[in-house]
Amino acid sequence: MDDRIIKTEYSELMQKSFIDYAMSVIIARALPDVRDGLKPVQRRTLYDMHELGVRWDRPHRKSARIVGDTMGKYHPHGDSSIYDALVVMAQDFKKGLALIDGHGNFGNIEGDGPAAMRYTEARLQKITQDAFLADLDKDVVDFMPNFDETEKEPTVLPVKFSNLLVNGSEGIAVGMVTSIPPHNLSEVIEATKAYMRDEKITTRELMKYLKGPDFPTGGIVINKDELLEIYETGVGKIKVRGKVEYEKGKNGRTNLVITEIPYPMIGANIAKFLTDVAALAETKKTADIMDISNQSSKEGIRIVIELRKDADVENFTNLLYKKTRLEDTFGVNMLAIYNGRPEIMGLKQILRANVDFQFQVATRKYTSLLAREMQRREVQEGLIKACNVIDLIIEILRGSKDRNMAKACLVEGKTDGIRFKSKESRVMATQLMFTEKQADAILEMRLYRLIGLEIDALIKEHQETMANIYRYEDILERRDSMAQVIVNELDAIQKEYGRGRRTLIENGKEAVYKEKEVEEMEICFLMDRFGYAKTVDLTAYERNKEAADAENSYVFICRNTSRICLFTDTGQLHTIKVSDLPFGKFRDKGVPIDNVSNYNSEKESIVLVTSQTELNLCQMVFVTAQSMAKIVDGGEFDVAKRTVSATKLSEGDKVIGIAALRNQNNVVLQTAQGYFLRFSITEIPEKKKNAIGVRAMKLSEGDFVECVYFIQNSVPVTIEYKGRQIVLNNLKVNKRDTKGVKVRV
């Protein structure tokens, strides 16, 4: 039994298992092969459709039939992955060249998903049949057993151009990702021919033919000068903008019309773009938007934004580029399987790999064709020779007892047992010496082939066969001849399937948006006890001063260009631009403070609300539940971030009181157990905002500071504590860090 137990290190076993899993995902699932530009699921789906006969010139077949057959024969990884691959290959807005002709609802550019596979139908596109699957019967690629060894499938399809560039690819493997943009078919073919003419050609020279990516959604690539480095290294970022046009609208207004979108905006990002544009108006980033509508249809993208009469159209367009996905980035990482391993490749490397593959395919193709023509020549020569001695052949056939006797005479010259009319015929029969294939062809030849015209056709066919043999031998022996054949095929594909470029490539100017200068003025900030905040005009506040002070927890004057600062018990400072708050009438409800800041009312409580301008003019005093106190210069809180730490807290501590120091002389601390301590504010030292502070009061075990009061000696302050009125100014002034006095009730 011990001999069967294999002892191994657990970490080594896990490492090996994970590497095996990762390589399986990388090679057999997620990454395309540089030769045909297809992932295994795509290759298997196309091959299965070819085997099913679902071709471009035949009726569509149910997608469910194709998916089921593919899964049962070649790809046992679930029907959803196969159907998803089939759908993407049929979507012309995702692929530079659609490989499948879909019939039914195959989704749309706005992100709506396809119908279930039982409702849709599909067949191969003509170019897929012509350029991807045409020569599979000529032994041009290797075949391997499928997962259960009941079928054979090609390891790669004999694609006649660089499909990896034309259709691009996106995929996520284990620890790596591929992202290759689609390109124009005609430009890829021109670049391929340029490389074939001069294998020492540089990437810069290749880009005279292949200008850059050509997205099916069009758009404008705006970083033309960066493309060279991207195509040399295979890595980089392509900046894409949507195409914008301007039209005259109603009442002298201008309509901004988006007719092409950036490729990354395909799908749900179109809806997000519309939401982002609406948000620009809601958050008052711009007041130029009157209306927005999505008028897109099967004819193409059309998103219309109606602007105000006095709108700066160019400035608004730049705002869309800056604040929305109308300008987006396509991350390039040209990773593909090359010689059985993943490799990041530049443009020239991809073309080199593809051209080498084309020569391999052509070599195997014409070797196979040459072998077929040689066989045909052998048979044709035998039939021509037989026609010349047809009387002797007939005599042999009539004198033989069976087929084997006749064949032995034709091949080996054996005449035993065969009756001849004369000795001369017997002698001539011994000299025939046909080959096995020639003899079989003679024995199967029909009598009508003896007609004169048929003999002439046989001779003509033999001449054509010899011409093919000479041509195939020339192609196989001379690389230039083979190169010309490949170029001719590329030219034919380009002539039939080539189209104009959709994406414009240029060095676009950086979008610069100039915000309209706001006239600076003083306004009044109001925030009620429910956390609803707003700003109103000073005259409106003055008219309703009594109601405003009574109904709101925080009321103060600030500038419309300033910030509102919220200090919370968790020691955080949240800032809000005053311009982000609604400015309106006194009786308007306002907006929840949570909606315009990072403040979370469920996790923290507001201790103080003030303006940034006020902070810059004074010092701030902090007191916590554990009686830690400090003074901080208000200038330290002049920050641009929406949320920063206002003070450092010990574990379990929280801020109880914060105040801006003006004329206060003393601070009074009240604890939960009824102790009161009054001491001079001058005893609290000034610290940095990230300091904890000093102890302000000695606390009994389990006690904590419950309330903090900042008072002036000349202004009496009376509070009610458990039904008793206490004048804080009458409390004895003690030293900081003492216990204070207990108030009896």
Residue 610 β-bridge partners: 565
Rounded Cα gap, residues 48 and 72, in angstroms: 10
| Topology adopted by domain 31-159 | Topoisomerase II; domain 5 (3.90.199)
User: Is pLDDT of 641 > 90?
Assistant: no
pLDDT at 125: 95
pLDDT at 595: 86
Give one DSSP letter per residue of 58-104, joined into a string. Answer: S--EEHHHHHHHHHHHT--S-HHHHHHHHHHHH-TTT-SS--EEEES
Rounded Cα gap, residues 46 and 118, in angstroms: 18
The domain spans of the chain are 31-159, 243-325, 356-496, 522-742
pLDDT band, residue 86 (cuts 50/70/90) = very high
pLDDT band, residue 447 (cuts 50/70/90) = low
Task: Locate 211 and state its tokens.
Answer: 């200008």
User: Is pLDDT of 453 > 60?
Assistant: no
- Quickly tell me which residue has 């290294």 as its tokens: 233
Neighbours of 388 (CB within 10 A): 10
Task: Locate 554 and state its tokens.
Answer: 């925080």
> In sequence order, which residues have a C-beta less than 8 Å from that of residue 471 and are 6 or more positions away?
none
pLDDT at 446: 73
Rounded Cα gap, residues 428 and 435, in angstroms: 16
Tell me the pairing of strands 619-624 and 655-661: antiparallel
User: Is pLDDT of 473 > 60?
Assistant: yes
Task: Locate 623 and state its tokens.
Answer: 């007191």
Q: Which of 78-82, 225-229, 699-703 has the highest mean pLDDT?
A: 225-229
- Report CA 178 to chain centroid distance, whole Å: 10
pLDDT at 515: 66
When pLDDT is averaged across residues 673-685 and rounded to a whole number, the result is: 91
When pLDDT is averaged across residues 538-548 and rounded to a whole number, the result is: 90
Task: Locate 537 and state its tokens.
Answer: 């005009």
Contact status, residue 65 vs residue 120, Cβ threshold 8 Å: no
Task: Locate 68 and state its tokens.
Answer: 């089921």
Rounded Cα gap, residues 627 and 513, in angstroms: 49
pLDDT band, residue 2 (cuts 50/70/90) = low
Which CATH class for the 522-742 domain? mainly beta
- Quickly tell me which residue has 């504590």 as its tokens: 721
**Phi, psi angles (nearest 5°) of residue 705:** -70, 130
Rounded Cα gap, residues 512 and 118, in angstroms: 50
User: What integer best gives the mean pLDDT of the chain?
Assistant: 88
User: Is pLDDT of 736 > 50?
Assistant: yes
Rounded Cα gap, residues 503 and 263, in angstroms: 10
User: Is pLDDT of 448 > 70?
Assistant: no
Rounded Cα gap, residues 598 and 592, in angstroms: 11
pLDDT band, residue 413 (cuts 50/70/90) = confident
pLDDT digits (tens, 9 = 90+) for 108-164: 888 888 999 999 999 999 999 999 998 898 999 999 999 888 999 999 999 999 999
pLDDT band, residue 513 (cuts 50/70/90) = low
Q: Identify the CA nearest to 176 among candidates 34, 334, 354.
A: 334
Q: Letter for the amino acid at 409?
A: C
pLDDT band, residue 62 (cuts 50/70/90) = very high
CATH code of the domain occupying 356-496: 1.10.268.10
Q: Residue 390 is inside which H or E element, if any?
A: helix 390-399
Rounded Cα gap, residues 690 and 607, in angstroms: 18
Q: Identify the CA nearest to 441 among candidates 476, 393, 491, 480.
A: 393
Rounded to 10 deg, the angle between the 390-399 and 403-412 helix axes is 140
Q: Any idea of the CA torsion for 674, 680, 682, 687, to the nearest 10 degrees?
A: 0
Q: Which is more confident, 391 or 126?
A: 126
User: Is pLDDT of 697 > 50?
Assistant: yes
pLDDT at 1: 47
* Residues with active-site annotation: 119
SS (H, E, C) 292-333: EEECCECCECCEEEEECCCCCHHHHHHHHHHHCCCEEEEEEE
Tell me the pairing of strands 583-584 and 532-537: parallel
Task: Locate 422 and state its tokens.
Answer: 């004369």
pLDDT band, residue 297 (cuts 50/70/90) = confident
Tell me the pairing of strands 504-505 and 220-221: parallel
Contact status, residue 721 vs residue 670, Cβ threshold 8 Å: yes
pLDDT digits (tens, 9 = 90+) for 170-188: 988 777 889 999 999 999 9
pLDDT at 400: 81
Q: Which is more confident, 330 or 744?
A: 330
Within 13 Å of residue 318, how many CA atoms lie on the same side as its CB? 13
> In sequence order, which residues have a C-beta less than 8 Å from that of residue 263 and are 6 or more positions away?
181, 213, 215, 216, 217, 219, 240, 328, 330
User: Is pLDDT of 655 > 60?
Assistant: yes
Domain 243-325 in CATH 3.30.1360.40? The answer is yes
Q: Which is more confident, 52 or 744?
A: 52
pLDDT band, residue 583 (cuts 50/70/90) = confident
pLDDT at 517: 62
Rounded Cα gap, residues 67 and 55, in angstroms: 15
Residue 556 β-bridge partners: 525
User: Is pLDDT of 700 > 80?
Assistant: yes
Rounded to 10 deg, the angle between the 436-444 and 403-412 helix axes is 130
Judged by DSSP in three states, 686 sits in strand
Q: Residue 742 is inside which H or E element, if any?
A: strand 741-742
Total-model pTM: 0.73
pLDDT band, residue 724 (cuts 50/70/90) = confident
> In sequence order, which residues have a C-beta less than 8 Å from that of residue 79 and are 6 or more positions away?
67, 68, 71, 117
Q: Identify the CA nearest to 218 among candidates 270, 261, 268.
A: 261
Q: Letter for the amino acid at 687?
A: K
